[in-house]
Amino acid sequence: QVQLVESGGGVVQAGGPLRLPCAPAGRTPYTGTLGWLRQARGKERELVARISGSGAITYYADSGKDRFTISRDNATNTVYLRIVGLKPEDTAVYYCAAGHLFATMPQQFTSWGQGTQVTVSS
Protein backbone atom coordinates (compact mmCIF):
# COMPACT_ATOMS: atom_id res chain seq x y z
CA GLN A 1 0.00 0.00 0.00
CA VAL A 2 3.03 2.26 0.35
CA GLN A 3 3.54 4.13 -2.89
CA LEU A 4 6.92 5.61 -3.72
CA VAL A 5 7.81 7.43 -6.91
CA GLU A 6 11.42 8.13 -7.85
CA SER A 7 12.47 10.48 -10.59
CA GLY A 8 15.39 12.61 -11.69
CA GLY A 9 17.43 9.94 -13.40
CA GLY A 10 18.86 10.02 -16.88
CA VAL A 11 22.15 10.38 -18.68
CA VAL A 12 24.44 12.83 -16.89
CA GLN A 13 28.03 13.92 -17.30
CA ALA A 14 30.78 12.83 -14.96
CA GLY A 15 31.69 15.43 -12.37
CA GLY A 16 28.28 17.01 -12.22
CA PRO A 17 25.67 17.05 -9.46
CA LEU A 18 22.39 15.21 -9.49
CA ARG A 19 19.37 15.29 -7.23
CA LEU A 20 16.95 12.40 -7.09
CA PRO A 21 13.55 12.94 -5.46
CA CYS A 22 11.43 10.25 -3.86
CA ALA A 23 7.82 11.27 -3.47
CA PRO A 24 5.51 9.16 -1.34
CA ALA A 25 2.05 9.08 -2.84
CA GLY A 26 -1.42 7.79 -2.13
CA ARG A 27 -4.27 8.69 0.15
CA THR A 28 -2.06 8.58 3.23
CA PRO A 29 1.52 9.14 2.05
CA TYR A 30 4.21 7.21 3.87
CA THR A 31 6.16 9.34 6.35
CA GLY A 32 8.48 6.81 7.97
CA THR A 33 12.09 5.85 7.37
CA LEU A 34 13.16 5.90 3.73
CA GLY A 35 16.29 4.60 2.13
CA TRP A 36 18.02 5.09 -1.17
CA LEU A 37 19.55 1.96 -2.62
CA ARG A 38 21.21 1.26 -5.92
CA GLN A 39 22.00 -1.69 -8.11
CA ALA A 40 24.62 -1.56 -10.79
CA ARG A 41 24.47 -3.99 -13.67
CA GLY A 42 25.77 -7.38 -12.60
CA LYS A 43 26.15 -6.33 -8.97
CA GLU A 44 24.21 -6.77 -5.75
CA ARG A 45 21.70 -4.18 -4.67
CA GLU A 46 23.16 -2.04 -1.90
CA LEU A 47 22.07 0.63 0.52
CA VAL A 48 23.41 4.10 -0.14
CA ALA A 49 21.70 6.12 2.61
CA ARG A 50 18.55 6.32 4.70
CA ILE A 51 16.73 8.95 6.67
CA SER A 52 14.24 8.76 9.53
CA GLY A 53 10.69 9.99 9.24
CA SER A 54 11.53 13.15 11.14
CA GLY A 55 14.67 13.73 9.13
CA ALA A 56 16.70 13.92 12.33
CA ILE A 57 18.56 10.65 11.85
CA THR A 58 20.57 9.89 8.75
CA TYR A 59 22.76 6.95 7.89
CA TYR A 60 25.26 6.50 5.11
CA ALA A 61 26.57 3.15 4.03
CA ASP A 62 30.11 2.84 2.75
CA SER A 63 28.83 3.29 -0.78
CA GLY A 64 27.10 6.53 0.19
CA LYS A 65 29.89 8.30 2.00
CA ASP A 66 31.52 11.57 0.96
CA ARG A 67 29.61 12.46 -2.19
CA PHE A 68 26.03 11.66 -1.17
CA THR A 69 23.56 13.62 0.92
CA ILE A 70 20.09 12.48 1.89
CA SER A 71 17.53 15.01 3.05
CA ARG A 72 13.83 15.35 3.72
CA ASP A 73 11.46 18.16 2.88
CA ASN A 74 8.82 17.86 5.57
CA ALA A 75 6.51 20.31 3.83
CA THR A 76 6.22 18.17 0.71
CA ASN A 77 7.04 14.77 2.27
CA THR A 78 9.75 14.31 -0.34
CA VAL A 79 13.11 12.68 0.31
CA TYR A 80 16.06 13.66 -1.83
CA LEU A 81 19.34 12.01 -2.62
CA ARG A 82 21.94 14.46 -3.83
CA ILE A 83 25.08 13.25 -5.53
CA VAL A 84 28.06 15.44 -6.32
CA GLY A 85 31.16 14.66 -8.32
CA LEU A 86 29.41 11.98 -10.34
CA LYS A 87 31.62 9.13 -11.47
CA PRO A 88 31.02 6.44 -14.08
CA GLU A 89 30.87 3.87 -11.28
CA ASP A 90 27.78 5.64 -9.94
CA THR A 91 25.87 4.27 -12.91
CA ALA A 92 23.04 2.16 -11.51
CA VAL A 93 19.33 1.91 -10.99
CA TYR A 94 18.52 3.94 -7.90
CA TYR A 95 15.61 2.86 -5.73
CA CYS A 96 13.68 4.53 -2.97
CA ALA A 97 12.38 2.12 -0.34
CA ALA A 98 10.55 2.14 2.98
CA GLY A 99 12.05 0.32 5.92
CA HIS A 100 12.69 0.43 9.63
CA LEU A 101 15.09 2.80 11.33
CA PHE A 102 17.98 0.33 11.38
CA ALA A 103 17.56 -1.27 7.97
CA THR A 104 20.83 -1.84 6.14
CA MET A 105 20.13 -4.76 3.82
CA PRO A 106 17.76 -4.70 0.84
CA GLN A 107 15.60 -7.45 2.35
CA GLN A 108 14.95 -5.23 5.35
CA PHE A 109 13.05 -2.74 3.22
CA THR A 110 9.40 -3.60 2.70
CA SER A 111 8.08 -1.27 0.00
CA TRP A 112 9.88 -0.12 -3.10
CA GLY A 113 9.58 2.38 -5.86
CA GLN A 114 10.16 1.24 -9.41
CA GLY A 115 13.62 2.76 -9.60
CA THR A 116 15.22 5.40 -11.76
CA GLN A 117 18.16 4.76 -14.05
CA VAL A 118 21.22 6.94 -13.61
CA THR A 119 23.84 6.68 -16.32
CA VAL A 120 27.03 8.69 -15.87
CA SER A 121 28.89 9.34 -19.10
CA SER A 122 32.65 9.02 -19.06
Residues 17-35 pLDDT 10s:
999 999 999 999 999 999 9
Element (H, E) at 3: strand 3-6
Q: Any bridge partners for residue 58, and if so which?
A: 51
Q: Report H helices in 1-122.
A: none
Q: Is the pLDDT of residue 1 over 90?
A: no
77 phi-psi bin (left φ>0, alpha ψ -120 to 50, beta other): left
Cα separation, 8 vs 80, in Å, equals 10
The number of helices, as runs of H, and strands, as runs of E, in the chain is 0, 11
Cα separation, 25 vs 5, in Å, equals 7
Residues 80-89 pLDDT 10s:
999 999 999 9
pLDDT of residue 87: 96
